[in-house]
Amino acid sequence: AWVKQNKASELQALERLLAQAAAHKRERSVEWRIKGSGLKVRKTMAAFDWDFQPKLDRRTVEELFTLAFVERHEDLLITGRRGTGKSHILQALTIKACELECMVRYSRCVDLIDDLYAGLADGSYQRRMKRWCRPPFLVIDDVGLGQLKRRDDEPTAAHMLFTLLDRRHTLTTTALTSNIKLSAWGKYLGDATLAAAVLDRLAATSIRIDIDGPSYRQHLARQRAGAHPGVEPLLPEEEEA
Protein backbone atom coordinates (compact mmCIF):
# COMPACT_ATOMS: atom_id res chain seq x y z
CA ALA A 1 0.00 0.00 0.00
CA TRP A 2 2.80 2.43 0.90
CA VAL A 3 4.56 1.73 -2.41
CA LYS A 4 1.43 2.51 -4.43
CA GLN A 5 0.49 5.59 -2.41
CA ASN A 6 3.98 7.08 -2.68
CA LYS A 7 4.79 5.69 -6.13
CA ALA A 8 8.02 4.38 -4.71
CA SER A 9 10.62 2.50 -6.69
CA GLU A 10 11.76 -0.99 -5.76
CA LEU A 11 14.94 0.49 -4.25
CA GLN A 12 12.95 2.93 -2.11
CA ALA A 13 10.67 0.13 -0.97
CA LEU A 14 13.69 -2.00 -0.04
CA GLU A 15 15.32 0.87 1.86
CA ARG A 16 12.10 1.45 3.80
CA LEU A 17 11.81 -2.24 4.62
CA LEU A 18 15.41 -2.38 5.86
CA ALA A 19 14.90 0.78 7.93
CA GLN A 20 11.82 -0.74 9.58
CA ALA A 21 13.71 -3.94 10.32
CA ALA A 22 16.60 -1.98 11.86
CA ALA A 23 14.20 0.07 14.00
CA HIS A 24 12.44 -3.08 15.20
CA LYS A 25 15.78 -4.69 16.06
CA ARG A 26 16.83 -1.61 18.03
CA GLU A 27 13.52 -1.55 19.93
CA ARG A 28 14.00 -5.19 20.93
CA SER A 29 17.59 -4.47 21.99
CA VAL A 30 16.51 -1.54 24.17
CA GLU A 31 13.72 -3.60 25.71
CA TRP A 32 16.16 -6.43 26.47
CA ARG A 33 18.55 -3.98 28.14
CA ILE A 34 15.78 -2.43 30.25
CA LYS A 35 14.58 -5.83 31.45
CA GLY A 36 18.14 -6.87 32.23
CA SER A 37 18.89 -3.68 34.16
CA GLY A 38 16.61 -4.58 37.06
CA LEU A 39 14.46 -1.48 36.57
CA LYS A 40 10.82 -2.13 37.45
CA VAL A 41 9.33 1.37 37.21
CA ARG A 42 9.81 3.10 33.87
CA LYS A 43 9.87 6.87 33.85
CA THR A 44 11.13 9.47 31.41
CA MET A 45 11.84 13.16 31.83
CA ALA A 46 8.95 13.95 29.49
CA ALA A 47 6.71 13.29 32.50
CA PHE A 48 8.81 15.35 34.95
CA ASP A 49 7.08 18.47 36.27
CA TRP A 50 9.85 21.06 36.11
CA ASP A 51 7.54 23.87 37.24
CA PHE A 52 6.95 22.04 40.53
CA GLN A 53 10.70 22.16 41.34
CA PRO A 54 11.71 25.68 40.26
CA LYS A 55 14.94 25.58 42.30
CA LEU A 56 16.22 22.56 40.38
CA ASP A 57 18.72 23.53 37.68
CA ARG A 58 17.12 22.06 34.57
CA ARG A 59 20.23 22.54 32.43
CA THR A 60 22.37 20.57 34.88
CA VAL A 61 19.90 17.69 34.97
CA GLU A 62 19.40 17.59 31.21
CA GLU A 63 23.16 17.53 30.70
CA LEU A 64 23.23 14.24 32.62
CA PHE A 65 21.19 12.63 29.84
CA THR A 66 24.07 12.92 27.39
CA LEU A 67 25.78 10.37 29.70
CA ALA A 68 29.02 12.31 29.31
CA PHE A 69 29.56 11.92 33.06
CA VAL A 70 29.49 8.14 32.59
CA GLU A 71 32.18 8.41 29.92
CA ARG A 72 34.25 10.50 32.36
CA HIS A 73 33.71 7.90 35.14
CA GLU A 74 32.16 10.52 37.40
CA ASP A 75 29.69 9.56 40.09
CA LEU A 76 26.34 11.19 40.81
CA LEU A 77 24.65 11.87 44.15
CA ILE A 78 21.13 13.31 44.28
CA THR A 79 19.71 14.25 47.67
CA GLY A 80 16.47 15.82 48.83
CA ARG A 81 13.22 15.19 50.65
CA ARG A 82 10.98 12.29 49.74
CA GLY A 83 8.88 12.83 46.64
CA THR A 84 11.07 15.54 45.09
CA GLY A 85 11.90 13.56 41.94
CA LYS A 86 15.24 11.96 42.81
CA SER A 87 14.22 8.44 41.84
CA HIS A 88 12.36 9.75 38.79
CA ILE A 89 15.61 11.22 37.47
CA LEU A 90 17.65 8.05 38.08
CA GLN A 91 14.98 5.82 36.58
CA ALA A 92 14.86 8.03 33.50
CA LEU A 93 18.68 7.94 33.32
CA THR A 94 18.53 4.15 33.40
CA ILE A 95 16.14 4.16 30.44
CA LYS A 96 18.36 6.61 28.56
CA ALA A 97 21.44 4.46 29.18
CA CYS A 98 19.62 1.46 27.70
CA GLU A 99 18.62 3.52 24.67
CA LEU A 100 22.26 4.56 24.19
CA GLU A 101 23.42 0.95 24.54
CA CYS A 102 25.27 1.58 27.79
CA MET A 103 25.38 -1.37 30.17
CA VAL A 104 23.51 -0.28 33.30
CA ARG A 105 22.19 -1.96 36.43
CA TYR A 106 19.55 -0.49 38.73
CA SER A 107 18.75 -1.41 42.34
CA ARG A 108 17.36 0.05 45.49
CA CYS A 109 20.07 0.23 48.14
CA VAL A 110 18.26 -2.14 50.48
CA ASP A 111 17.88 -4.76 47.71
CA LEU A 112 21.55 -4.52 46.76
CA ILE A 113 22.66 -5.02 50.37
CA ASP A 114 20.18 -7.89 50.83
CA ASP A 115 21.66 -9.56 47.75
CA LEU A 116 25.17 -9.31 49.21
CA TYR A 117 24.01 -10.67 52.57
CA ALA A 118 22.45 -13.59 50.70
CA GLY A 119 25.88 -14.15 49.20
CA LEU A 120 27.39 -14.43 52.66
CA ALA A 121 24.79 -17.05 53.52
CA ASP A 122 25.35 -19.27 50.47
CA GLY A 123 29.04 -18.65 49.85
CA SER A 124 28.56 -16.58 46.68
CA TYR A 125 29.48 -13.19 48.17
CA GLN A 126 32.57 -12.57 46.02
CA ARG A 127 30.76 -13.58 42.84
CA ARG A 128 27.84 -11.29 43.66
CA MET A 129 30.17 -8.41 44.54
CA LYS A 130 31.98 -8.79 41.19
CA ARG A 131 28.61 -8.73 39.43
CA TRP A 132 27.72 -5.41 41.07
CA CYS A 133 31.18 -4.03 40.26
CA ARG A 134 30.95 -4.94 36.56
CA PRO A 135 28.45 -2.49 34.99
CA PRO A 136 29.94 0.73 33.61
CA PHE A 137 26.89 2.49 35.10
CA LEU A 138 25.39 1.37 38.42
CA VAL A 139 22.31 3.06 39.87
CA ILE A 140 21.71 2.72 43.63
CA ASP A 141 18.38 4.27 44.56
CA ASP A 142 16.96 5.24 47.96
CA VAL A 143 19.91 5.13 50.37
CA GLY A 144 18.15 5.57 53.70
CA LEU A 145 14.87 3.91 52.75
CA GLY A 146 14.10 0.41 53.99
CA GLN A 147 15.47 -1.60 56.90
CA LEU A 148 18.91 -3.14 56.51
CA LYS A 149 19.21 -6.54 58.16
CA ARG A 150 22.37 -8.11 59.55
CA ARG A 151 23.62 -10.43 62.26
CA ASP A 152 26.32 -9.39 64.72
CA ASP A 153 28.87 -11.68 63.07
CA GLU A 154 28.33 -10.19 59.60
CA PRO A 155 29.96 -7.10 58.05
CA THR A 156 27.93 -3.90 58.09
CA ALA A 157 26.16 -2.47 55.07
CA ALA A 158 28.69 0.36 55.24
CA HIS A 159 31.50 -2.18 54.78
CA MET A 160 29.78 -3.68 51.73
CA LEU A 161 28.96 -0.32 50.16
CA PHE A 162 32.49 0.96 50.77
CA THR A 163 33.99 -2.17 49.18
CA LEU A 164 31.72 -1.78 46.17
CA LEU A 165 32.40 1.92 45.63
CA ASP A 166 36.12 1.55 46.32
CA ARG A 167 36.42 -1.09 43.58
CA ARG A 168 34.41 1.02 41.16
CA HIS A 169 36.10 4.32 42.06
CA THR A 170 37.41 6.22 38.98
CA LEU A 171 36.88 3.12 36.80
CA THR A 172 33.10 3.20 36.40
CA THR A 173 30.13 5.40 37.32
CA THR A 174 27.80 5.00 40.29
CA ALA A 175 24.67 7.13 40.76
CA LEU A 176 22.89 7.28 44.12
CA THR A 177 19.90 8.99 45.68
CA SER A 178 19.23 9.60 49.36
CA ASN A 179 16.42 11.25 51.32
CA ILE A 180 18.31 11.30 54.64
CA LYS A 181 21.01 13.69 55.78
CA LEU A 182 24.50 12.62 54.76
CA SER A 183 25.43 12.81 58.44
CA ALA A 184 22.84 10.07 59.06
CA TRP A 185 24.42 7.60 56.63
CA GLY A 186 26.61 6.19 59.41
CA LYS A 187 23.64 5.24 61.57
CA TYR A 188 21.70 3.85 58.62
CA LEU A 189 24.60 1.82 57.20
CA GLY A 190 25.82 0.65 60.59
CA ASP A 191 29.31 2.19 60.71
CA ALA A 192 29.99 5.93 60.88
CA THR A 193 33.68 5.61 59.95
CA LEU A 194 33.08 3.55 56.82
CA ALA A 195 30.05 5.65 55.87
CA ALA A 196 32.33 8.70 56.01
CA ALA A 197 34.78 6.84 53.75
CA VAL A 198 31.96 6.11 51.29
CA LEU A 199 31.05 9.80 51.18
CA ASP A 200 34.72 10.70 50.82
CA ARG A 201 34.93 8.53 47.68
CA LEU A 202 31.82 10.18 46.31
CA ALA A 203 33.05 13.68 47.11
CA ALA A 204 36.19 13.08 45.05
CA THR A 205 34.44 12.22 41.79
CA SER A 206 30.73 12.98 42.04
CA ILE A 207 28.28 15.48 40.67
CA ARG A 208 26.10 16.60 43.59
CA ILE A 209 22.51 17.71 43.10
CA ASP A 210 20.31 18.65 46.05
CA ILE A 211 16.63 19.08 45.26
CA ASP A 212 15.34 21.69 47.69
CA GLY A 213 11.63 21.59 47.07
CA PRO A 214 8.24 20.18 48.04
CA SER A 215 7.09 16.59 47.68
CA TYR A 216 5.20 15.93 44.47
CA ARG A 217 3.57 12.85 45.99
CA GLN A 218 2.23 14.94 48.87
CA HIS A 219 0.98 17.46 46.32
CA LEU A 220 -0.95 14.71 44.53
CA ALA A 221 -2.29 13.44 47.87
CA ARG A 222 -3.65 16.90 48.66
CA GLN A 223 -5.23 17.11 45.22
CA ARG A 224 -6.98 13.76 45.71
CA ALA A 225 -8.15 14.81 49.17
CA GLY A 226 -9.48 18.07 47.72
CA ALA A 227 -11.55 16.10 45.25
CA HIS A 228 -13.14 14.21 48.17
CA PRO A 229 -14.25 16.71 50.87
CA GLY A 230 -13.92 15.41 54.41
CA VAL A 231 -11.00 13.10 53.56
CA GLU A 232 -7.67 14.09 55.07
CA PRO A 233 -4.56 13.28 53.00
CA LEU A 234 -2.02 10.88 54.56
CA LEU A 235 1.13 12.99 54.69
CA PRO A 236 4.30 11.56 56.27
CA GLU A 237 6.70 13.79 58.16
CA GLU A 238 9.35 15.25 55.85
CA GLU A 239 13.02 14.50 56.25
CA GLU A 240 15.86 16.70 55.09
CA ALA A 241 18.86 15.33 53.24
d(CA 134, CA 136): 6
Q: Is the pLDDT of residue 131 over 50?
A: yes
Lowest mean pLDDT among 13-27, 151-165, 177-191, 221-235: 221-235
Residue 223: per-residue pLDDT: 64
Residues 182-236: tens digit of each pLDDT: 999 999 999 999 999 999 999 988 999 999 988 776 656 666 666 656 655 555 5
Contact 143, 185 (CB under 8 A): yes
With a cut of 90, say whether residue 86 has pLDDT above it: yes
Q: 3 falls in which pLDDT band (50, 70, 90)?
A: low
> Which of residues 168 and 221 earns the better pLDDT score?
168
Confidence of residue 66 (pLDDT cuts 50, 70, 90): very high
Residue 227 is predicted with a pLDDT of 63
**Chain centroid offset of residue 70 CA:** 13
Q: Give the pLDDT mean for 155-175.
A: 96
Q: pLDDT at position 226, please?
A: 64
HEC letters along the chain: CHHHHHCCCHHHHHHHHHHHHHHHHHHHHHHHHHHHHCCCCCCCHHHCCHHHCCCCCHHHHHHHCCCHHHHCCCEEEEEECCCCCHHHHHHHHHHHHHHCCCCEEEEEHHHHHHHHHHHHHHCCHHHHHHHHHCCCEEEEEEECCCCCCCCCCCCCHHHHHHHHHHHHCCCCEEEEEECCCHHHHHHHHCCHHHHHHHHHHHHHHEEEEEECCCCHHHHHHHHHHHCCCCCCCCCCCCCCC
Please report the pLDDT score of residue 229 as a whole number.
64
pLDDT at 240: 43
